[in-house]
């Protein structure tokens, strides 16, 4: 679930990029889009080995992304 927040979690409203609450993690919208695209490319077999390795490092750093990856796989399997 993605929620827009009018300000950063620290409460400042300056010129900082808007943060989104995504699966209980605050991150900027660009990061969310980037990770979702990388997961999609990985599932479709369009990443090279270096990109795959980097994605798995991200999964290890932030296990929520691995859960999203698994969910994406399950949804695609059901949709077939």
CA distance 80 to 60: 29
Confidence at residue 52, expressed as pLDDT on a 0 to 100 scale: 98
Beta-carbon contacts of 41 under 8 Å, excluding residues fewer than 6 positions away, are: 47, 51
Confidence at residue 13, expressed as pLDDT on a 0 to 100 scale: 47
Confidence at residue 25, expressed as pLDDT on a 0 to 100 scale: 61
pLDDT in tens, 17-51: 666 666 656 677 888 899 999 999 999 999 999 99
In DSSP terms, 2 is beta-bridged to 22
Alpha helices in the chain (DSSP H): 29-43, 49-61, 63-79
Distances 66 to 4, 10, 79 between C-alpha atoms, Å = 22, 27, 20
């Amino acid at each position: 679930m993605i929620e827009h927040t009018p300000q950063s979690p620290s409460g400042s409203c300056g010129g900082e990029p808007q943060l989104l609450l995504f699966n209980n993690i605050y991150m900027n919208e660009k990061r969310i889009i980037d990770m979702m695209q990388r997961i999609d490319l990985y599932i479709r077999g369009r990443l090279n080995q270096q990109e795959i390795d980097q994605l798995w490092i991200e999964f290890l750093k932030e296990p929520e992304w691995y859960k999203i990856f698994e969910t994406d796989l399950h949804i695609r399997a059901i949709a077939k």
